[in-house]
Every structure is written in structure tokens, then in C-alpha cells.
Amino acid sequence: MKESMIIIGGGVAGLTAAAMLANDGHQVTVLEQSREWGGCAGKFSRKKFLFPVGATLGMGFEEGGIHERIFNHLHIPMQELPVQKLEEVMNIHLPNKTITFHRDRNEHVESLVRAFPEHKQKIMRFYQKLYEIAAKVRALMVELPVLPPQTRNEWLGLLHSLNVSSLTLLPYFPKTVGHLLKKFDLLNTPFKHFIDGQLIDSMQVKSEQCACILGCLALDIYHEGAFYVEGGLYQVAHRLADHAKGNGGVLMLGRKAERMVRTGNKWTVTDHRGNDYRADHVISSLPVQVLPDLLSETDLRSLGYTLRKKTAEETWRTMTLYLTLKETDTIMNMPLFQQICTSESGEMSEGNHIFMSLSNGTDRVRAPEGYRTMTVSTHIDLSYWKAKEEYDKRKIFMQEKMIAAILSVYPDFKEAVEQVECGAPKAWERYTGRPGGMVGGFGQSRNNSLFFSLSHRTKLPNFWLCGDSIFPGAGTIGVSVGAYHVYSSITGKKLSQ
């Protein structure tokens, strides 16, 4: 019998679950508190300009990638998605050197060897091992196993994914990427800063904390395909929302879920206007830190110790700048994606490491002819921002620091800047409903990842979780996998390979 579902949150996770469940004939209602679909991968507009809120670099659109597999499953034509595969994924600027991240693995290693000739052999051996581990992990992930396995079927699914070569991964489970760097004598080198810059953006931790198996996958993933999406990644959210609506889903913007009450196995969700929505299942795509506000005390206690403990754990915040730029020579010659690390000692937060995404010169969705838009982000730690006065000062300080980082690489940059808008943690909290503006899920350390990550299942009947706090974690590809696990657990159906 087809069932009813309430999905809280209209980001990529919630909309992936909505589209897949509606496609299967279930009665789907999505409540999204903001006025836009896409959440952290959404957009906002200012006059003729459009800005991606946070996520900009697309992955998973290649053949066999998770977005491609889900779109195929839903019969959404991939050709409709305006994506452009990047052969040069990004430029990474360390103090005194610039490295181009090439999609081709050989070219990539050559580029690193050119940047660090004194470590040539070590870097080559490091990547040989890293690519070997990543290939085995990718093979394991094809069937999208669930971690941590909670049911007989999930254990069977995991065992089914294993083969002889995956057993050779066992020694790497207790290791970090830092261990791998140490093995190749690369730990105390600027090359480590390059690796840390990649990891902090994708895994939210540096090499000394990052779980080796997932870290290798993250450091390899752009070689499978990294994409510029015309307009921005919100296009994915919009396609999924349209598909869910086309299959009878009721999708509502401007509806903040404030309370969830269980009567037996049925749920009632109440929004901020006092409207009640009843359903057989509830799927929350929000960070788990929201759960204490949504659930009754009894239900919160029933979630169990591990999940309850996580609801009190802090994650990174972000500070973002949204720039309107004139198309000067400097801008025309800039790569679309760049990282700048300004710290000699390899600090990766508070403006010492920034990620910049520029709109393509032909992208008329983001800016009119002669202009571009740019989103710049850095990780921040709220302990520096506690009091109101400190917060306002810190915001100005951080904006100046981020612009100074860009000027350190592009001294003429200021000539291009027409407007700067700032997205500090309070703005993130307001627009994405994330408590304290926490973003990116839990850092993928050994304590938070793989068998220690949070399952999409909860101990409450018919209450499911997806989003970047849940296995396998952040990024539009990570949250899509989590949403698929919810779909598959409810329906018993699988994605074709």
C-alpha cells in the first residue's frame, strides 16, 4: 500500500527523497522554511545578478555518478542539466606557489611534482597508493551500501559489496590521511597544506584527523568528474522539485516545521503558522542539532544515546562573500574555481583558506554581459564571534581578510569589484534554518565516519534522517546517497547501476 510522507527541508537531500518517493507513487509533502529550493546548494538574486548560496562545484554528473543514476532512475533527461565538465578543476594558491588540479590523474601528479620537485618520488608513491585505495573504495560504493549497518539486509548489502580486493582496505580503517602522508615522509612539508586545503573543503577536517579511506576517496573524486553548472547547483534542486510536483507531491515554500508529535506509528508535523500535516512517515533532512527543538522530550530520549549526543555537537560555521564583478582582464583570465591558502603554517579556517567560485563568462543566468558573480567562502569557528559587539567587528575583519587573500594573488582585483554582500553565520541561520549557522555536517574524522557515522534509521517508528549529518556526509553527492538510503529502506527498491 502506498504511504504518506512529510519531508522537512527542501535542500538537495530532502528533494532527492521527495522526488524518488513521489516517483514511486507515495503521497509526499515537503515543508521548506525559506522562499527558495536548494538550501546550502540554493541561490538568491539581487537585481540582474544571481548568486549560489554556498555549493558551487558539481560532482556526480558523470556516467555512474550519483546524480546521474538518480536522474536516470527518475527519467529526468541529464541533457537538460547545463553542466560543463572541467579538465582543469581549480587552481590552488599556496604562499609562493600555484598548483592546477587536473582531472586527468597523470597530469595532476605531474603538476604536483612540478610544484614540489624536491619531493618528486614521495609524491608519486603517495598518489599511487591513494589512487589504489580510492579505486577499491569506489568499487565498494557502486552498490551504495549503508553504514553503519543496522538490519540483516543492510549487513547482507555490505557483505555483497565486498570482494577480495576490498579486504586489503582493512588496515586503512583505523588510519588517517596523516598516517598516509607520514608513510611517504610528506608530513612536515607544504605539500601537506595542499592536501589539507582539499580535505577541509570536502571532509571538514585536516589530514591528521581525516579518516584515511574516505579521505582518499575525497582526494580522488574530482578525477571522476568535476562540473560547472550554469546558473548554479540550484538547478539540481529545481529539477527534483519539479519532478516531485509532477508526480503529485505537495511542495511548500515558506513553511517552517516547528514540532513533530507521534501517535502510535503516525506523525503530525506542525508548521510555524499552526498548520498540522499528518503522515505515516517523517523524513528530516535537517542537521541533527535541530532535533531537540522538533521532538517531544520522550521521543528525543527514545532516539538513543549516540544520536542524542550528536544533537549537542558543534560543527563548523561559514562566512561567505557574494561579489558582483565587472569583467576586467584580471577576471577574464581567472579560473572558475580557486582556493587560496595564505597561512605559511597551514591554518585552514578564519579566512586563512578561502574557496572562490566565479561565474562563467557565458553564464547569462548569473550575470549580464560584461559582468560576473563570485561566491567566496571560508570556515569559521564561532568561539571568536560570541558577543554581539565582537560579532559585528569580526564580520568586518573577516570580510577584509578574505578580500586581502584575493588581493595577495590578484593585486588588480579591487578594480573589478562593484558590490560585496556578506553571509555571516546569523544570515546562514536565517536563510538555511541551520542552528547557529552550522554547515557541512560532522568532520569526517575516524570517530564520525564510516561505521561511526549516523544512520538514516532512527529508533522512532517511521522517522528517518538524511542530510549532511548522516552517512555518508556532506556535498550534494553525499546527501543524495543518504536520501536514496531512506527511499530504499521505505520502499525496498534499489537504484539500477
Ligand X SMILES: Cc1cc2nc3c(=O)[nH]c(=O)nc-3n(C[C@H](O)[C@H](O)[C@H](O)COP(=O)(O)OP(=O)(O)OC[C@H]3O[C@@H](n4cnc5c(N)ncnc54)[C@H](O)[C@@H]3O)c2cc1C
CB crowding 154-172: b at 16 or more within 10 Å, else e: beebbeebeeeeeeebeeb
Torsion of CA 440, 441, 446, 447, to 10 degrees: 150
CB closer to ligand X out of 134 and 240: 240
CB closer to ligand X out of 23 and 378: 378
Residue 205 to residue 349: CA distance in whole angstroms: 10
CB closer to ligand X out of 36 and 181: 36
CB closer to ligand X out of 318 and 373: 318
CB closer to ligand X out of 10 and 65: 10
Q: Closest approach of Cβ 167 to ligand X, in Å?
A: 30
Q: Closest approach of Cβ 216 to ligand X, in Å?
A: 18
Residue 95 to residue 198: CA distance in whole angstroms: 15
Q: Closest approach of Cβ 286 to ligand X, in Å?
A: 5
Residue 438 to residue 444: CA distance in whole angstroms: 15
CB closer to ligand X out of 189 and 349: 349
Question: Are the C-beta atoms of 374 and 338 separated by less than 8 Å?
Answer: no
H or E element: which one contains 57? strand 57-58
Q: Closest approach of Cβ 229 to ligand X, in Å?
A: 10
Output the nine-digit C-alpha cell for 134: 580510492
Question: Are the C-beta atoms of 284 and 461 separated by less than 8 Å?
Answer: no
Type of residue at 328 = T
Type of residue at 219 = L
Q: Closest approach of Cβ 110 to ligand X, in Å?
A: 25
- Determine how many CB atoms are found less than 10 A away from the CB of residue 114: 12
Q: How many residues does the chain have?
A: 497
CB closer to ligand X out of 107 and 293: 293
Where do we find the cell 507521534? 262
Q: Cite the DSSP H helix spans in 81-210.
A: 105-115, 120-141, 152-161, 164-167, 177-183, 190-202
In the DSSP assignment, the letter for residue 447 is: T
Residue 399: strand, helix, or coil:
helix
CB closer to ligand X out of 8 and 416: 8
Residue 256 to residue 252: CA distance in whole angstroms: 10
Q: Closest approach of Cβ 205 to ligand X, in Å?
A: 15
Q: Closest approach of Cβ 360 to ligand X, in Å?
A: 15
CB closer to ligand X out of 189 and 373: 373
Residue 334 to residue 324: CA distance in whole angstroms: 15
Residue 250 to residue 173: CA distance in whole angstroms: 43
Footprint of ligand X on this chain (CB under 6 A)? Answer: 8-14, 31-34, 39-41, 54-57, 59, 256-257, 285-286, 318, 320, 377, 432-434, 439-440, 467-468, 474-476, 479
CB closer to ligand X out of 30 and 181: 30
Residue 323 to residue 386: CA distance in whole angstroms: 26
**DSSP labels, 450-483:** GGGSB-SB-SSTTEEE-STTBTT-SSHHHHHHHH
Q: Closest approach of Cβ 294 to ligand X, in Å?
A: 7
Q: Closest approach of Cβ 416 to ligand X, in Å?
A: 22
Q: Closest approach of Cβ 38 to ligand X, in Å?
A: 7
